[in-house]
Amino acid sequence: MASASTLMAELRNLHDTRSYQDLNWEGSFEDYLEIVRKNPRVARSAFQRVYDMILMQGVEEYKEY
């Protein structure tokens, strides 16, 4: 079994600080409202985002016979 220090080193290698900072925005509510004003799609719910993914891939009718 790996030692604790080896395990911690492996976990540090998996953590990409730059990517984390890019994905986790910080700002005020006023800043967020300005972003939404410029791009209203930012404020969509999870259900709306899933629906968007389905539409983006397209649908086709399935005929069994």
Question: Dihedral of the CA atoms 50, 52, 56, 58 (nearest 10)?
Answer: 70
Give residue 50's pLDDT band: very low, low, confident or very high (50, 70, 90).
very high
Distance CA 21, CA 1 (A): 33
Indicate the pLDDT class of residue 23, thresholds 50, 70 and 90.
Answer: confident
| Predicted confidence (pLDDT) per residue in 28-40, tens digit | 999 999 999 999 9
The residue type at 59? V
**Would the pTM of this model clear 0.85, i.e. be above it?**
no
Average pLDDT over residues 42-49: 94
Which pLDDT does position 1 carry in this prediction?
60
